[in-house]
Amino acid sequence: MAIKRIVSNIATPQVDDVRAFYCGLFDLDVAMDMGWITTLTSGAQAQVQISIASEGGTGTDVPDLSIEVDNFDEIYARAKAQGLNIPYELTIEPWGLRRFYVLDPTGKLLNILEHGN
């Protein structure tokens, strides 16, 4: 058996606002929009992963989603320019990860990250 994909679902009555947040911050594309559900995609292939954690590392809360990007500085600049709530500022972690946390419009805690080069 092979897992083909895992999809994260975000419950909200404000589908349009949340779609605008994710498309605007991460340049995601709308793959499907049925009004009550919208599916966003980057078109990239990624490994299937599920992380199970008691904390988020460095004593932070466990994030709801971790999003690895290849344009980290651009995403961080967008988040700052948009005045988004960043509860954990840009940090280079001891294990070599650059990351920051941002809250989406539903209150989901997002771990935005870039692995060290």
Residue 116 is predicted with a pLDDT of 75
Q: What is the C-alpha to C-alpha distance for residues 114 and 8, in angstroms, rounded to an integer? A: 20
The stretch 95-102 carries a mean pLDDT of 96
For the four alpha carbons of 46, 50, 54 and 60, in that order, the dihedral sign comes to positive
What confidence tens digit (pLDDT) does each residue in 17-71 have?
999 999 999 999 999 999 999 999 998 888 889 999 999 999 999 999 999 999 9
Q: Phi then psi for 79, rounded to 5 degrees? A: -60, -45
Give me 39's structure tokens.
């599916």
Q: What is the DSSP letter of 103?
A: E
And the tokens for 44? 């990239």
**Domains of the chain in sequence order:** 15-115 (3.10.180.10)
Q: Helices marked H in the chain — which ranges?
A: 15-26, 72-81
Maximum Cα interatomic distance, the chain, rounded to a whole number of Å: 44
CA dihedral for 68, 74, 77, 83, sign (positive or negative): negative
